[in-house]
């Protein structure tokens, strides 16, 4: 069966697209035919925009700080003014300021939350305003795709990344809310949890020892999922979260209920809570709590985490 992966005539915004995963995503969307607004802070945005053009698509580099709320509006305005509309949003921009919780400073908290969570929210908001207006003008649903970038750290927690873990958990909630709020207008919103070898992760992963293949942690592998979720074949997919790296994509299911405790008299006291909840934990295996450590079992790449 032939599948429609053509993005010709579509316009995409990709944040943090000057290097790494964002660059790979921008280039993949261009390969599929989309025009791309390439957003990043430095001159690399213009370099990637040139790379997009060599692939036969149009591009515009917008050097702006996504942690500023107004940047979301500026990016959407650039898409509309330059290409006549907006179809695809890929929120990728991010930074790390690794620290243990007891060493966390307000500045390290604010910077990470501002770039990741506020940056995602700013562009989702601006895109939502555009999509809603376009749907009303069209008199029905329109084409809209939002791909946000979360992380397994949101589910497992990372001891040295309380700021990053919190931001990525917030992005999941933002994505689900965005999907619910924009579904009636034809917009689909999903989140990915990628692993990729980039400048931000260069000190995290060991090298791939198999030189006969595309690096098992190459960002291009992740970009293929972004291309799919941005495309027409993803029309039925929304409010979903995917883990992606190596040679696989994993679709996550919602959080489940392990046990429900009911007060015998209708109101708990501490003694009954100790008996029922405390008793449950007496037989509970260590490491089997809410933190999803079992996700580590997905990793069959053979790449050692050296951080």
* Chain position carrying tokens 């207008």: 185
Is residue 168 annotated as part of the catalytic site, yes or no?
A: yes
Place of tokens 């989702």: 124
Residue 143 falls in the annotated catalytic set: no
Dist CA 150 CA 170 (whole Å): 8
**Active-site annotation holder among 19, 151, 165, 230:** 151
Number of neighbours of residue 63 by Cβ within 10 angstroms: 14
Q: Which of 57, 67, 165, 168 is catalytic?
A: 168
Burial 227-260 (b: 16+ CB within 10 A, else e): bbbbbeebeebbbbbbbbbbeeeeebeeeeeeee
Residues sharing a CB contact under 8 Å with residue 242, sequence separation 6 or more, in sequence order: 190, 191, 192, 193, 225, 229, 249, 250, 251, 252
| Chain centroid, CA 242 distance in Å | 9
Phi and psi dihedrals of 281, rounded to 5? -75, -15
- Is 245 one of the annotated active-site residues of the chain? no
Choosing from 164, 165, 238, 245, the catalytic residue is 164
- Full DSSP string of 166-203: HHHHHHHHHHHHHHHHHGGGTEEEEEEEE----GGGTT
Q: Give a three-class secondary structure readout of 11-66.
A: EEEEECCCCHHHHHHHHHHHHCCCEEEEEECCCHHHHHHHHHHHCCCCEEEEECCC
Active site residues: 151, 164, 168
């Amino acid at each position: 069966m032939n599948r429609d992966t053509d993005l010709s005539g579509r316009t995409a915004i990709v944040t943090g697209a000057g290097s790494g995963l964002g660059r790979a995503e921008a280039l993949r969307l261009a390969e599929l035919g989309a025009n791309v607004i390439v957003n990043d802070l430095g001159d690399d945005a213009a370099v990637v925009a040139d790379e997009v053009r060599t692939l036969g698509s149009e591009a515009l580099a917008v050097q702006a700080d996504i942690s500023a709320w107004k940047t979301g509006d500026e990016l959407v305005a650039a898409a509309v003014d330059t290409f006549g509309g907006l179809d695809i949003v890929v929120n990728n921009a991010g930074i790390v300021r690794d620290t243990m919780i007891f060493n966390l400073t307000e500045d390290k908290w604010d910077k990470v939350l501002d770039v990741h969570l506020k940056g995602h929210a700013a562009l989702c908001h601006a895109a939502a305003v555009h999509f809603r207006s376009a749907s009303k003008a069209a008199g029905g649903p329109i084409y809209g795709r939002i791909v946000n970038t979360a992380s397994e750290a949101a589910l497992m927690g990372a001891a040295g990344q309380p700021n990053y873990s919190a931001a990525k958990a917030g992005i999941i909630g933002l994505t689900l809310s965005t999907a619910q709020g924009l579904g009636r207008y034809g917009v689909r919103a999903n989140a990915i949890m990628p692993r990729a070898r980039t400048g931000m992760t260069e000190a995290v992963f060991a090298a791939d020892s198999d030189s006969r293949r595309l690096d098992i942690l190459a960002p291009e592998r992740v970009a293929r999922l972004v291309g799919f979720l941005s495309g027409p074949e993803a029309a039925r997919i929304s409010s979903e979260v995917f883990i992606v790296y190596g040679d696989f994509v994993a679709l996550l299911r919602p959080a489940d209920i392990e046990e429900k405790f009911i007060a015998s008299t209708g109101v708990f006291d501490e003694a009954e809570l100790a008996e029922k909840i405390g008793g449950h934990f007496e037989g509970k295996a260590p490491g089997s709590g809410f933190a999803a450590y079992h996700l580590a079992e997905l990793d069959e790449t053979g790449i050692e985490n050296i951080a």
